[in-house]
Structure 1
Amino acid sequence: MSKVGLYWRLLQGVVENPRYYYFVLRRSAYDKTARRLAQNDLPENGTFYPVKLDLHVIYGCNLRCKMCGQWGDTGTYFNYDTAKLKRELKLEVIEGVVQELVPHGLRYVDIEGGETFLYPQIIELLRMLKRHRLFVKPVTNGTLLKKYAGELIDTGVDAIHISVDGDKEAHNFVRQAEWAFDKTLEGLEAIIVERERRNRHTPLIHVSFTMTRHNKSSSALKLCEELAGKGLLDVLTIKSNPIWVPTAKGEAYNKVAAQYFGTNGLTSWTGFAEDYGDFEEEAKEIAQTIRRLKTKDYDFFVHHLPSIPLTEIPKLYTDYNWNLGRTHCSVPYLEPTIDVDGHVYACNLFMDEPLSMGNVNEQPFLDIWFGDRYQTFRRMLSEQGGLLPICNRCCQLTEH
């Protein structure tokens, strides 16, 4: 398909849903806020109202992906007891928060797990969020999409984010399940069939591929060749920014958190504890692979994150201190996260209960958002120069 044809397909999506531009323009709000933070240009109450809400609705997952900070090789969810792992974020609690925030400009909601589609009330949740005219994007491994395809499209959900780790061989290796790739493709096919049956251009199907030490850069090329011409997706994002935290940086973060919150031994970062210092040659190969991908035409958009010159890609893996010139994180000012137990977090990646800002089962969300603990977190971030020791490879920083 020509580039004109691709742009026309996205334009059709914009006509059907004006917020379809989400994947292209969302970054602007975060960049603008980061600039204001750098200039200490904040409202009198110290923050803005949230524009995006992240919901972690369930702990359980049907895969054990090697790189996952939850259920991967060093994942932290293995430490949770059985009773905790069976919990779910209550639908009525979510709606209460949404009703609080929509009048103040909430626009986007991401839904995550565990595996999002293991949440028993996922369809009811999507319907409720769409009733509030929000841009809604569930994040999934794709293996359960076939079961929900028709209902999913009928909810009016705007986009689906599916993570894939390469061609069939690479993906199944990383996901530690020989059936994972086929199930995901079956799910994509089912979504496309039901979308066409209803003459819809949404949900936008967004597949992401992250290059890590667990897959080879060549598997990105094989993936594109596998998907090309099948019409199974709209956007493919190739990411050269795996989330990783050197142990020394994690320990430094624990000291900073202890200084401001009196915490002891935070562990969420240990799910991403890794060092890519020996990865320089592989990183050069990744840069070459992305350069080759940029020269090809597919029937879906292919773009690379983070938006940096390809010559700088090796630094992403070998120089953790390099922050890509991003000096301030906007997430604590724009994007709260609520976990399965109702805890609210200022960071949507590193979530430790001792750093909960409050619990929506116990108090109104906005009391938490403007409360003392959130303000202390923002002050901590500001006094540490805009970033914490574990921030430099967080996707929220490198992609926004």
Structure 2
Amino acid sequence: MKSISIIPRKNLGRIIRKAIQDPAFACNSFRRRFLSFLTYKFADGYSAFPETISLFLTRRCNLKCGMCGQWGEQGVFRDYPAEVLKQQLDLTTIKKLLRECKPYRPTITLFGGEPMLHPDWLDIVRAAKENGLRCNIVTNAVLLPQHVKDVVECGLDEIIFSLDGPREVHDRSRGVPGTFDRAMEGFDRLREIKEQRGQKKPFVTVNTTINQHNHHCLTEIAEIAERIGAYHLNIHHLLFLSRAICERHDKFFQQRFGAPSPDWFGFVHDTLPSLDLDVLFRQMEQIRQRQNGVSASFYPNFEEKEIRQYYTEWEFESTSYANRCLSPWMVAYIFPDGSVRPYHSMNYEPGNVHTDSFRKIWNNPKYREYRRVVKEIGKFAVCSKGCTELYRY
């Protein structure tokens, strides 16, 4: 049995920990997922309101992380014209969207690029909270020190911090010296202010992506996560694709939807990752054996034989997950130009919030057709190694 209804069996531990941390959020999240799952099963491309709306506030970033599909070595944003890179969601449009979403209580995720580069990001958090919505931010935390007091006071629910390793490893991966120390300064101050105020939020979650530079030091990452007061550590498997797989997907996408899908090429690797898998497995076991400190999970939670195939072969299909995508029923991405997309690397735009309401876009003919295709094929060629959403629901 690969899954229990809408919850993959392999993800149960991760979900239970989240429910303990924030029970109200967990109850609302499960209700939204259940409704979306029912529409996936029975509604012919229609969907209940999404569990999460990710606001892609800006494409700009203050780092150049090597493995990033946006700004990394193969990052597609490097070739974007300046006028596209300057685009950003405006506060007026976002406030209108949040008012529209209020009755449905989705989680609002601030995403990028680096969302703290958006001049109004704190006002966006405040607006989300004024409408009773849970709000989190995915950040490299370089700018956290200058905003830390406001972060505590604005009502932000969760900071999801991207950490690649101890100082030397993190700075090399992020491409900018001093990045680690600036982030640690911010989190030390955040913990201090929360303790002074007797406040638990914002919760801190650490996201780490396994790569050739850090797979030997995952236990050190867990210690850092504990030091900064993180509630949980998510250790993600690396996203990487071959050029042949991206080209196969792009050809299919153009045939079915009449549009290219170039952003996946940001995850292209010329060679398979150079990981010592025996070292990785020892690190994983030590993480699992930790009795105290921050809780940790590996995501996707593959079996050992799957991990060996994942990192040593270009083609991969999980034997412990369902290999069908529910994300277009659960999550929406709104880009800096206002376009609404079913995934942040699909380059497929069913509508734009500058011209239509989100509710109208969410179940318009173009969105429904996309969902029908996804349900028909289960997943795209790029999904198994290019997207963690495949394994989330």
Whether the TM-score (by the shorter chain) exceeds 0.5 is: yes
Matches within 5 A, 1:167-178: 167-178=166-177
Match in the other structure for 2:202: 203
Residue pair 2:164, 2:214 contacting (<8 A) in 1 also = no
Backbone CA RMSD of aligned residues:
2.6
Say if 2:336 is the partner of 1:336.
Answer: no
CA shift in 2, pair 1:139/1:297, >3 Å: same
Match in the other structure for 2:316: 321
The 2-side partners of 1:341 and 1:78 are apart by 18
Residue pair 1:138, 1:159 contacting (<8 A) in 2 also = yes
Q: CA shift at 1:381, angstroms?
A: 1.3
The 2-side partners of 1:45 and 1:237 are apart by 32
Residue by residue over 1:271-326, the C-alpha shift from the partner in whole angstroms, topping out at 9 and shown as x without a partner, is 111266465x6233212211111112342222222223344322232343213432
> Which range is displaced more, 127-136 or 246-255?
246-255
CA shift in 2, pair 1:48/1:86, >3 Å: same
Q: What is the TM-score of this pair, normalised by structure 1?
A: 0.86
CA shift in 2, pair 1:177/1:89, >3 Å: same
Residue by residue over 1:371-390, the C-alpha shift from the partner in whole angstroms, topping out at 9 and shown as x without a partner, is 1211221122123x211111
Q: Supply the AA of the counterpart residue of 1:369.
A: W
Say if 2:245 is the partner of 1:253.
Answer: no
Q: Supply the AA of the counterpart residue of 2:72.
A: G
Matches within 5 A, 1:54-203: 54-103=54-103, 105-203=104-202
Q: Supply the AA of the counterpart residue of 2:367.
A: Y
The 1-side partners of 2:204 and 2:295 are apart by 11
Q: CA shift at 1:361, angstroms?
A: 0.7
How many residue pairs get aligned? The number is 374
> Which range is displaced more, 135-144 or 373-382?
373-382
Residue by residue over 1:238-285, the C-alpha shift from the partner in whole angstroms, topping out at 9 and shown as x without a partner, is 22x211222122111112211222224x31001111266465x62332
Say if 2:18 is the partner of 1:18.
Answer: no
Secondary structure, aligned partner of 2:58: coil
Match in the other structure for 1:367: 360
Q: Supply the AA of the counterpart residue of 1:395.
A: T
Say if 2:269 is the partner of 1:274.
Answer: yes
Q: Supply the AA of the counterpart residue of 2:148.
A: A
Residue pair 2:160, 2:207 contacting (<8 A) in 1 also = yes
> Which range is displaced more, 73-82 or 61-70?
73-82
Q: What is the TM-score of this pair, normalised by structure 2?
A: 0.87
CA shift in 2, pair 1:277/1:293, >3 Å: same
Match in the other structure for 1:389: 381
Residue by residue over 1:112-171, the C-alpha shift from the partner in whole angstroms, topping out at 9 and shown as x without a partner, is 111111110011000000111111110000111111111111111111000000111111
Residue pair 1:284, 1:314 contacting (<8 A) in 2 also = no
> Which range is displaced more, 162-171 or 83-92?
83-92
The 2-side partners of 1:102 and 1:310 are apart by 43
Residue pair 1:12, 1:201 contacting (<8 A) in 2 also = no
Residue pair 2:93, 2:354 contacting (<8 A) in 1 also = yes
CA shift in 2, pair 1:276/1:318, >3 Å: farther
Match in the other structure for 1:232: 229
Match in the other structure for 2:259: 263
> Which range is displaced more, 153-162 or 269-278?
269-278
Secondary structure, aligned partner of 1:112: strand
Residue pair 2:36, 2:47 contacting (<8 A) in 1 also = no
Residue pair 2:29, 2:51 contacting (<8 A) in 1 also = no
The 2-side partners of 1:364 and 1:13 are apart by 33
The 1-side partners of 2:191 and 2:306 are apart by 37
The 2-side partners of 1:10 and 1:359 are apart by 32
Residue pair 2:148, 2:189 contacting (<8 A) in 1 also = yes
Residue pair 1:68, 1:75 contacting (<8 A) in 2 also = yes
CA shift in 2, pair 1:370/1:80, >3 Å: same
> Which range is displaced more, 254-263 or 179-188?
254-263
Match in the other structure for 2:288: 294
CA shift in 2, pair 1:56/1:142, >3 Å: same
Residue pair 2:32, 2:49 contacting (<8 A) in 1 also = no
The 2-side partners of 1:46 and 1:278 are apart by 39
Q: CA shift at 1:225, angstroms?
A: 3.7
The 2-side partners of 1:61 and 1:161 are apart by 16
Residue pair 1:50, 1:106 contacting (<8 A) in 2 also = no
The 2-side partners of 1:44 and 1:260 are apart by 18
Q: Supply the AA of the counterpart residue of 1:316.
A: Y
Unaligned runs of 5+ in 2: 1-16
Residue pair 1:138, 1:160 contacting (<8 A) in 2 also = yes
Secondary structure, aligned partner of 1:193: helix
The 1-side partners of 2:258 and 2:127 are apart by 38
CA shift in 2, pair 1:316/1:33, >3 Å: farther
The 2-side partners of 1:304 and 1:294 are apart by 9
